[in-house]
Amino acid sequence: MTMGTTNLAAAAPEIFLLAMVCAILVVDLFLDDERRHWSYGLTLLALAGTALIALSAGPGTRHAFNAMFVDDAMARVLKVFVCISVAAMLIYGRTYCRERGLFRGELFVLSLTATLGMMVMISASHFLTLYLGLELMSLSLYSMVALSRDSAMATEAAMKYFVLGALASGMLLYGLSMIYGATGGHGGPPTLQIAEVAARVLSNQANQTLLIFGLVFVVAGVGFKLGAVPFHMWVPDVYQGAPTAITLLIGSAPELAAFAFVLRILVQALGAHPLLIEWQQMLILLAVLSMAVGNVTAIAQSNIKRMLAYSTISHMGFMLLGIVSGSLNGYGAAMFYMVTYVLTVSGAFAMIILLSRGGFEADSLDDFKGLNQRSPWYAFLMLLIMFSLAGVPPVVGFYAKLSVFQAVMAAGMTWLVVVAVLFSLIGAFYYLRVVKLMYFDDPQDSVPLAPTADVRALLTINGVAVLVLGLLPGGLMDLCQRAIQNSL
Amino acid sequence: MLLGLPLLSLAIWVPIAAGLAVLATSSDRTADNARWLALIGAALGFVVTLPLYAGFDPQAHGMQFQEAASWIPRFHINYHLGIDGVSLLLILLNSFTTILVVIAGWQVIQTRVSQYMAAFLVLSGVMNGVFSALDGALFYVFFEATLIPMFIIIGVWGGKNRVYAAVKFFLYTLLGSLLTLVALIYLYNAADGSFALLDWYKLHIGMTEQVLVFLALMAAFAVKVPMWPVHTWLPDAHVEAPTGGSVVLAAVMLKLGGYGFIRLSLPIVPDASHALAGFVIALSLIAVVYIGLVALVQTDMKKLIAYSSIAHMGFVTMGVFLFNGMGLEGAVLQMISHGFVSGALFLCVGVLYDRMHTHVLAEFGGVVNTMPVFASFFMLFAMANAGLPGTTGFVGEFLVTLGAMQVNFWYAALAATSLVFGAAYTLWMYKRVVFGAVANDHVAQLRDINLREVLFLALLAAVVLGMGIWPQPMSVVLHTSVNDLLAHVAQSKL
């Protein structure tokens, strides 16, 4: 490929972020704990700046670094949401981290490098770039889970996360190497550039057997990263073991990156016809299993972080349905699903953070008992969030499910929609239980929640957005759909 | 459109806005504010629906008071409202009931008053939305959104077993409506990307698809009605719900199901409706006969009225699927009548419950000695429930039975047993509660109803009698809508 000129402007947000990471790394060295909020402020500033730079880029698609890196509409939208989501995590987790001694330079730097990794993943147009971003993100997240050194649970979680994550990366790499091999031959030297791989697949020049073998491993790697069944084992342990603020990070922004990852590998590179059918079948299996295992197992949980972990697994199943449909419509629906899911789940974890006080976690379901009597407003916000996760109108989760179901139905897989609908009914039960605890039970603790002003404002915006986007979902839907249409 | 105002939007959003205002401005310390604000909101909500009746043209075909605006352009979902005679009556019923509920909860509800009032106001607005939506997605959103406030109402202010009842209510209805969602998406795709009900009316689809769509739609509506055998959630919900919850549930919420059959099932899949009419009528007759018998043996007043509701709603589903003018008109009148009568009965039980904190029949007896005024009101509503001529209860059942007679003698014969059973269980209940010697000290200490209670019971009594004697104002707005619907359903869409 000859779009060789290095066009640094395409990577401007990443470059800015990297520069800020270096700056914060240095600045933080000279701050004592009293003035740690300077690096906190700088981190937020870095995220805001990155998002602004991503926003300010004009329309169209630009490549950089020998077409290893792409800046397209989808990348810009996702990057902005990633920045917002990471910033929200830092704001939600500020008091929490301070109380647990996690409010250190490492937190800021690692969350920024994780963000950088996600952004690279999102913008990758070459398998190596994709892998590079994935590892940058994953390694940052592994160490963030272990950030509270003295907690045995956190360390165990980090270990599990790391070992299973490394295994997944290995699988992915193995699969990619097979695809690399398969693309060589008549059409020219083997390649890892996504558009070129797509061209080889389309023209049937690639070795089909090898390609399909590679595809299996790639899907397994993708499944690990998404936390889809049967590759989900790490999700509950990591969600529960990690400090809640870190769980919030793991459960939100990386899902957006993972979505881009799925789209770049499966749709952009391997989306041509014979392969499409192959991975559709695999994803149907992953999706159905995820919805089944996630929703059913979540019922049995008494720890809300663990419950949300299983809920994440089931939501990945629903999101995969959009990809399974194999249409632009479906990809747009999946993207909308992911964005709204991240919005909703951030609010849910923020509530758990809010409930914990004085260094104690409040992550058991019983901690939500009687919240309506303690703080009606936060109970109401949590109610909106729970109904959104359950997919009950008029909150936004319903439209996410609606658009995904519509795409699957248009692809002629009505039975799959019926299955999904039945599992979302099962899922409704455990979200309802949270509402039941908050509204129907008596509180164990009568102290009202007293968040700081910034958290109060952000959580209110977050919860109300779930409702407002439910009443007027059109704009965000269009945004996602246009981003997909302009990028694929 | 009268005065150029978007009346239907007002009917939906005035109560919702009032509910949010109540929620935002009051806490338990200022409970009286919440009550008055809620009353004003409910009254205002009713007032804005009156011009709908005044401005409704009974001769006009098609939907009236239409409003349309683009809502979700990506899926061509529109905020499209419009009503015919059927929706008009249900909207009036709903808005009227909301006032009653607010008054009924005035003293009884002492905890989280603002949340209670807000839940009912929001629910009222949302149900007006169901009755006026002309867009499939909009209909579904409103239809589902009713679940959340009712779930909270049962769960927070309900009786001992409220959590079980609330969760059962929610999951049962959600199961039905999720299958409906599948049908709606199917219709959307079949109509080349349109959610407009009026487009779906013109849609030609094959018989297999029609039957599947019919069954999927029926899943939601049958649970809501509720039809035998998916009725089991209703007695639980009624027994545990606070009085206001029971009233709204029986008076309005059950009608969502009957309305759904009329607005969606019949016109969209007429051939499947015809083909499966026998099935639906069989289920309806089981409800009328079997549930009537079940009601006879209940020991709890609320449960008894709940079962009686199911039996009465059996008339509705049967009338809808008779495909003749009398049946359909009777079904709609039965819905309205049942709304007033069952609401009134639940209010009466509520009056007793507020004093005795029980609705077990055995705890009562001889109430007439201590509460004569109440006993006379209760008598009227019990008679109406039994279908006494001269009350609203008679009109609907009579019309449906006549309609059934035109189709099949045995349908009518079985339906007519309801007149026997209905009289038996209602009057027996009335006898055990009201007549006889004073049963115990609690009954001896009962005080008769106060002015507030007289107010809402008298309002209802006036409606029940008035419309029973002179149902013309209701049936006049129905004629054209019912005939148009029957003409539409008579055409095959295969």
pLDDT one-digit tens code per residue, A457-478: 999 999 999 999 988 888 888 8
Helix and strand element counts for chain A (H, E): 20, 2
**Nearest chain B residue to A392, by CA:** B144
CB-nearest to A421 from B140, B151, B179 is B179
**CA Rg value for chain B:** 21
Nearest to A429 among B72, B171, B178 (CB): B171
pLDDT tens column, A153-186: 889 999 999 999 999 999 999 999 998 888 877 6
* Cβ contact A392–B115 (<8 Å): no
Closest-CA distance, A379 to chain B, in angstroms, reads 12
B175: closest chain A residue by CA: A425
Interface of A with B (CB under 8 A): 372, 376, 383, 387, 392-394, 398-399, 402-403, 405-406, 409-410, 414, 417-418, 421-422, 424-425, 428-429, 432-433, 435-436, 439-440, 472-474, 477-478, 481
Predicted confidence at residue B142, as pLDDT, reads 92
If you write DSSP's letter for every residue of A450-485 in order, what string do you get?
A: ---HHHHHHHHHHHHHHHHHHH--HHHHHHHHHHHH
Check CB contact under 8 Å for A474 and B71. yes
Q: Could B147 and A392 be called an inter-chain contact, meaning their C-beta atoms sit closer than 8 Å?
A: yes
Chain A residues within 8 A of B71 when measuring between CB atoms: 472, 474
Residues of chain A contacting residue B152, judged by C-beta atoms under 8 Å apart: 435, 439
More confident residue, A360 or B47: B47
Tell me how many degrees the CA angle B226-B229-B235 measures, rounded to the nearest 5.
55
Return mean pLDDT, chain A: 88
Residue A249: its pLDDT value, please? 92
For the beta carbon of residue A7, count every other beta carbon within 10 angstroms: 15
pLDDT bucket at A187, cuts 50 / 70 / 90: low
Given B70, B115, B141, which is nearest A393 (Cβ)?
B141
Question: Could you read off the pLDDT of B458-470 as tens digits, one per residue?
Answer: 988 998 888 888 8
Per-residue pLDDT of B427-452, as tens digits, reads 888 888 888 888 788 878 888 888 88
Question: DSSP secondary-structure letter at A272?
Answer: S
For B270-297, what is each residue's pLDDT tens digit?
999 999 999 999 999 998 889 989 988 9
Question: Which residues lie closer than 8 Å to A20 by C-beta, 6 or more apart?
Answer: A42, A43, A45, A46, A49, A50, A112
HEC profile of chain B: CHHHCCHHHHHHHHHHHHHHHHHHHCCHHHHHHHHHHHHHHHHHHHHCCHHHHHHCCCCCCCCEEEEEEEEEHHHCEEEEEEECHHHHHHHHHHHHHHHHHHHHCCCCCCCCHHHHHHHHHHHHHHHHHHHHECEHHHHHHHHHHCHHHHHHHHHHHCCCCHHHHHHHHHHHHHHHHHHHHHHHHHHHHHCCCCCEHHHHHCCCCCHHHHHHHHHHHHHHHHHHCCCCCCCCHHHHHHHHCCHHHHHHHHHHHHHHHHHHHHHHHHHHCHHHHHHCHHHHHHHHHHHHHHHHHHHHCCCEHHHHHHHHHHHHHHHHHHHHCCCCHHHHHHHHHHHHHHHHHHHHHHHHHHHHHHHHCCCEHHHCCCHHHHCHHHHHHHHHHHHHHHCCCCCHHHHHHHHHHHHHHHHCHHHHHHHHHHHHHHHHHHHHHHHHHHCCCCCCHHHHCCCCCCHHHHHHHHHHHHHHHHHHHCCHHHHHHHHHHHHHHHHHHHCCCC
Is B74 close to A478, i.e. CB distance below 8 A? Answer: yes
Of the residues B13, B27, B74, B130, the best mutation for testing chain A's interface (the one with the most A CB atoms within 10 Å of its CB) is B74
pLDDT at A5: 52
Of B70, B72, B152, the CB nearest to A439: B152
Mean pLDDT score across all residues of chain B = 88
Nearest CA distance, B112 vs chain A (angstrom): 9
* Span A17-35, pLDDT tens digits: 999 999 999 998 888 888 8
Q: Which residues of A touch B151 (CB under 8 A)?
A: 432, 435
Q: Which residues of A touch B72 (CB under 8 A)?
A: 399, 473-474, 477
Q: Which candidate from A393, A414, A436 shows the least CB-CB separation from B163?
A: A436
Distance from CA of A300 to the nearest CA of B (A): 16
Question: Is A418 in Cβ contact with B179 (below 8 Å)?
Answer: yes
Residue of A434, A435, A438, A479 best to disrupt the B interface, most CBs of B under 10 A: A435
Distance from CA of A403 to the nearest CA of B (A): 8
pLDDT of residue A7: 75
pLDDT per residue over B332-389, tens digit each? 999 999 989 999 999 998 888 888 888 888 888 888 888 888 888 999 999 888 888 8
B66 CA: distance to closest CA in chain A (Å): 20
For the residues A255-270, what does the mean pLDDT come to?
A: 90
**B74 and A477: CB-CB below 8 Å?**
yes
Inter-chain CB proximity A473 and B72 less than 8 Å: yes
Number of Cβ within a 10 Å radius of residue A452: 11
Structure tokens at B353: 């419950």
Q: Which residue of B has its CA nearest to A386?
A: B148
Note the pTM of the prediction, 2 decimals: 0.91
Residue of chain A whose alpha carbon sits nearest to that of B77:
A474
- Residue from A295, A392, A399, A414 whose CB has the most chain B CBs within 10 Å, to mutate: A392
Query: Rounded distance, CA B61 to CA B436, Å?
Result: 54
B181 and A402 within 8 Å at the Cβ level: the answer is yes
CA A398/CA B143 separation, integer angstroms: 13
A contacts of B170 (beta carbons < 8 Å): 428, 432
> What is the rounded average pLDDT of the residues A426-447?
86
Q: Out of A332-341, A443-452, B38-47, pick the least confident.
A: A443-452
Which residue is associated with the tokens 């977050």? A462
Cross-chain residue pair B141–A425, CB shorter than 8 Å:
no
Under an 8 A CB cutoff, do A436 and B171 touch?
no
Query: Is A136's pLDDT higher than 90?
Result: yes
Q: Amino acid identity of B399?
A: L
pLDDT digits (tens, 9 = 90+) for A66-89: 888 888 889 999 999 999 999 999
Tokens describing residue B96: 């009227």
Considering only CB atoms, A393 lies closest to which of B73, B140, B170, namely: B140
Give the number of beta-carbon pairs within 8 Å between A and B.
93
- Decide if B182 and A421 are in contact by the 8 Å CB cutoff: yes
Band (pLDDT 50/70/90 cuts) for residue B420 is: confident
Note whether B72 contacts A410, CB cutoff 8 Å.
Answer: no
- Give the gap in angstroms from C-alpha A388 to the nearest C-alpha of chain B: 11
Residues of A in contact with B181 (CB under 8 A): 402, 405, 421
Is there a contact between B72 and A474 if contact means CB atoms under 8 Å apart? yes
Inspect the interface and report whether the beta carbons of A406 and B163 lie closer than 8 Å: no
Closest CA to A460 of A40, A48, A91: A91
Residue numbers in A near B182 (CB within 8 A)? 405, 409, 414, 417-418, 421
**How close A202 gets to chain B, by Cα (Å)?**
29
Q: How high is the pLDDT of residue B1?
A: 46
Q: What is the pLDDT of residues B193-242, one digit of tens each?
A: 888 888 888 888 888 889 999 999 998 899 888 888 888 888 888 888 88
Whether the pLDDT of residue A106 is over 90: the answer is: no
Q: Return the pLDDT at B3.
A: 58
Hey, are the CB atoms on B72 and A435 less than 8 Å from each other? no
What is the reported pLDDT for A188? 76
A193-230 in b/e form (b: 16+ CB < 10 A) is: bbbbbbbbbeeeebbeebbbbbbbbbbbbbbbbbbbbe
CA distance A368 to A374: 10
Q: Phi/psi of residue A62, each to 5°? A: -125, 140
Nearest CA in chain A to B140: A393
Do B171 and A403 lie within an 8 Å CB cutoff?
no
Residues of B in contact with A425 (CB under 8 A): 171, 174-175, 178
A chain contacts of residue B178, beta-carbon cutoff 8 Å: 421-422, 424-425
Residue A3 pLDDT exceeds 50: no
The predicted complex's ipTM stands at: 0.86
The percent of residues above 70 in pLDDT, for chain A, comes to 98
Task: Select the residue of B137, B167, B175 nearest A436 (Cβ to Cβ).
Answer: B167
